[in-house]
Amino acid sequence: MGNEQSSSQKTEGKVDGRPVTFTLHHDESSQERELIWQEHETPSKGRLTEKDIIAALPVHAQVPDDYSILFVAPNEAVDGDTKASPVVFRSLLATKLPLAFIHHFQPTGNACWQLRADNGKIPNLHIVVSSGSGTGKAEDVWIKLLKAMLEHVCPKADSYALHFTSSEHTVTELTREVFLPQANEGITQAIILLSGDGGLVDIVNALLSSSLRSKRYTKPNISMLPLGTGNALANSTGITSDNTMGLRNLLQGITKPLPVFSVHFSPGARLLANEAREEHALHNLNGTATVYGAVVCSWGLHASLVADSDTHEYRKHGAERFQMAAKEALYPSDSSAAHGYKGRVSFQRPSSKDWVKVERDTHGYVLATLVSQLEKGFTISPASKSLDGKLRLIHFGDLGGQGAMDLMTQAYGGGKHVEDKRCGYEEIAALRIDFDEDDARWRRVCVDGKIVRVEQGGWVEVRSGVETVLDLIVDERH
C-alpha cells in the first residue's frame, strides 16, 4: 500500500490546471487519509477526506501524471427532503498526486469496474432503481450520484438497461423475464441495485425458485447502493462505512459469492403483503412451501416489530421505525405485558444431525442470521464476518419488556448482549420452531423483512448451505 509509514507526504502538482502543493495526511490509528492542497497563485486551499473519496482513476496512458479524483460532496438541496440524495457526485483533475494517494484510491486490477469485461466479454449492465425502498431516495441518488458518475467515467456507456420499480413485484418479474433467462444462456450480467435488502432477496428468490437453471448458468454480480431502511447486508459488508453511498464499493470491490439459507414451512403458511391486507402462497419446493434468505429468519420480538412497523406511516421514520415498534411491543400502550411466545425451538450444530432442544416453552427472541448488523450500529451477531456463510442463532426467553430492552440496548452497544448469560448464541446448521400459539399474530416469521404467517400447530425449518446463485461486489479493504 505504498509509503504509508509517512504520516504526511507532499508533492508539487496541479488541480484542474492550477499549480498547487499537495499534502497527504495519513492518521495511522484511525486509518483515515486526508488530501489537502494549497494553490500557488491564490490563497485558496482544498481538502478531501477519505470517507468522501470514491476513486482515483488514470486519465490516459499518454498523460501518466493525470488522475481524475471522484468524490462526493454534501447535497445542499436536501433541506429536510427525505427523498433527496444526501450527497452529490463531484470530480477534479489532479496532476502529480502523492504516490500513496494513488496506491490507495486507484482500483486494483481485479476490481469490478474492469470485471465488467469478464473473460473478455462485456457483460450486460442493468441498473435497478427501487423507488419504494427506504424513504424513497433511490431516484435522486440515481440522478445526482450514479448517473453523474457513469457519465464521467465512461461517457460513451449508454449501453445499460435502466429499470425503475413500479410495484413490489417489479424486481421479481425482471429477474424471471431478464436476469434468469440471460444467466441461463451464459451471459455475464452486472446489476447495480439501488435498494435495501428486499430488492436483493427478491432476486435471490426468483433465481432459486426456478428449477430451470441451465448448465451454462452464469452468476450475475450485484453491486448494492444502500437505499433501504435497515440495509443489513450493506452494513455488514462495509458498504456503508464511507459517505459514497456504495460508489466506492462499486468501483473498488471484487466479486464474492452471496451465502443463502432456505426456510421451509408447514402447509398453509402464507406470505403477508400490503400491510397484511393480502396473503400469497409461497414457492413450492418438492411439496414444501419454501422461501430463501440472505440476512435473517426470526420469530418473537424481532419478527413482530418488523411486521408491525411495515406500514406507510412507520416507513416515513426510516430506521427509527424499528425502535419505535420495539418500544410498543415491549411496553404496550394498553399497559399489558410484553408477549411471551409459546413454542418448541431446536437446532442442529454444524456437522451434526442431532437436534438440540432449547429448554424453555416460552420465548422472547429467536433469530438466525448470516450477517453481523441488522441496521447501522445494531450488531446482532458480533462473530459474523462479511459473507462468511455461517448461520448463527441468537435466542432468549420471555424476560419481560425491561429484560428484552436491556439485551437490545447491549446489541446497539457493539453486540455485548451475546456475553449476557440470559442470551444464547452459537453457530448452527439448522433451526426448527414448532408453534404452540393460538393467535395468528404470534405465529409471524420474518425472512429478510418479509413476513410469513404459519398455520396453527405449524412449524418452520431454516437450513444453511444453499447453492449460491449470485455474487455480491464487496471492497474487502473495509
Chain residues in the site for ligand ATP (CB under 6 A): 130-134, 165-168, 171, 195-199, 202, 228-231, 449
State which residue, 13 or 228, has the beta carbon closest to ligand ATP: 228
State which residue, 20 or 201, has the beta carbon closest to ligand ATP: 201
- Give the shortest CB-136-to-ligand ATP separation in angstroms: 9
- Give the shortest CB-26-to-ligand ATP separation in angstroms: 33
- Give the shortest CB-231-to-ligand ATP separation in angstroms: 5
- Give the shortest CB-166-to-ligand ATP separation in angstroms: 5
- Give the shortest CB-77-to-ligand ATP separation in angstroms: 22
Please name which of 111, 21, 101 lies closest in space to residue 69, comparing C-alpha atoms: 101
- Give the shortest CB-66-to-ligand ATP separation in angstroms: 39
State which residue, 130 or 188, has the beta carbon closest to ligand ATP: 130
State which residue, 150 or 200, has the beta carbon closest to ligand ATP: 200
Those residues with Cβ within 8 angstroms of residue 418's Cβ, 6 or more apart along the chain or in another chain: 381, 382, 383, 394, 425
Helix, strand, or coil here: 137? coil
**8 Å CB contact between 234 and 222:** no
Q: Please name the residue that has the C-alpha cell 450477517.
A: 371
Amino acid at position 117, single letter: A
Q: Where are the beta strands (DSSP E) in 181-269?
A: 189-195, 221-226, 254-257, 260-265
- Give the shortest CB-284-to-ligand ATP separation in angstroms: 21
Please name which of 228, 251, 219 lies closest in space to residue 474, comparing C-alpha atoms: 251
State which residue, 26 or 321, has the beta carbon closest to ligand ATP: 321
Question: Phi-psi region for residue 251, left (φ > 0), alpha (ψ -120 to 50) or beta?
Answer: alpha
- Cα 367 to Cα 285: distance, rounded to the nearest angstrom: 23
Please name which of 339, 331, 356, 344 lies closest in space to residue 300, comparing C-alpha atoms: 339
- Cα 57 to Cα 149: distance, rounded to the nearest angstrom: 12
State which residue, 104 or 321, has the beta carbon closest to ligand ATP: 321
State which residue, 199 or 397, has the beta carbon closest to ligand ATP: 199
State which residue, 214 or 274, has the beta carbon closest to ligand ATP: 274
**8 Å CB contact between 458 and 370:** no
**8 Å CB contact between 468 and 257:** yes
- Cα 197 to Cα 404: distance, rounded to the nearest angstrom: 25
How big is the chain by its Cα radius of gyration, in Å? 24
- Give the shortest CB-7-to-ligand ATP separation in angstroms: 38
- Give the shortest CB-205-to-ligand ATP separation in angstroms: 11
CA max distance for the chain: 79
**8 Å CB contact between 426 and 392:** yes
How distant, in Å, are the alpha carbons of 69, 348, 447, 453 from that of 458? 57, 19, 16, 10
**8 Å CB contact between 306 and 447:** no
HSE at residue 18, side-chain half, CA atoms within 13 A, is 14
- Give the shortest CB-440-to-ligand ATP separation in angstroms: 21
**8 Å CB contact between 249 and 145:** no
Those residues with Cβ within 8 angstroms of residue 270's Cβ, 6 or more apart along the chain or in another chain: 279, 280, 281, 282, 452, 453
State which residue, 50 or 202, has the beta carbon closest to ligand ATP: 202
- Give the shortest CB-176-to-ligand ATP separation in angstroms: 14
State which residue, 107 or 196, has the beta carbon closest to ligand ATP: 196
State which residue, 100 or 374, has the beta carbon closest to ligand ATP: 374
State which residue, 318 or 465, has the beta carbon closest to ligand ATP: 318
- Give the shortest CB-126-to-ligand ATP separation in angstroms: 16
